[in-house]
Amino acid sequence: EVQLVESGGDLVQPGRSLRLSCAASGFTFSDYWMTWVRQSPGKGLEWVANIRPDGSGTYYVDSVKGRFTISRDNAKNSLYLQLNSLRAEDTAVYYCARGGNAFDEAQYWGQGTLVTVS
């Protein structure tokens, strides 16, 4: 069974940093694209970033470029999102998601971790 468990969410002050983690199990982690998606309270979903299976390519939404870094450790079956220079508008539940077949961008989802910037 595919499982994705996010952690690391917290209440932080503007300008500070935070690192989110996503522990994956139930599949061969190194075979799949991984994605971070966020959802501000009461709002819609926002695609944040994704990363190739071997970590050789990373891609970001413009609003986080230069502040957030997605990475992965295939030996540890883990995905990460480093959040720097946090702003109030970064307040959201952050979900990690696993890709599926080609262009199946977010087939499986974790339950999310809440980041509050205040």
Partner 1 sequence: TVVTQEPSLTVSPGGTVTLTCASSTGSVTGGHHPNWFQQKPGQAPRALIYSTSNKESWTPARFSGFLLGDKAALTLSGVQPEDEAEYFCLLYCGDDFWVFGGGTKLTVL
> CA–CA separation, 97 vs 24, rounded Å?
10
Nearer to partner 1 among residue 14 and residue 26 (C-beta): 26
Report residue 46: phi and psi, to 5°: -130, 120
Backbone angles phi, psi at 10, to 5 degrees: -165, 175
State in angstroms the smallest separation of the CB of 107 from partner 1.
5
Closest CA to 94 of 113, 67, 71, 69: 113
For the bound state, the minimum distance from the C-beta of residue 21 to partner 1, rounded and expressed in Å, comes to 17
Residue placing its CB nearer to partner 1 in the complex, 8 or 100:
100
Other C-beta atoms closer than 10 Å to the C-beta of 17 total: 11
Tokens (6 digits) for 105: 């961008």
Please report how close the Cβ of residue 46 comes to partner 1 at its closest, in angstroms. Answer: 6
Closest to partner 1 by CB, 85 or 111: 111
Of 82, 79, 97, 110, nearest to 5 by C-alpha is: 110
* Rounded least distance, CB 112 to partner 1, Å: 6
Interface residues toward partner 1, by CB under 8 A: 37, 44-47, 50, 57, 59, 61, 95, 100-112
Of 17 and 25, the one with the shorter C-beta distance to partner 1 is 25
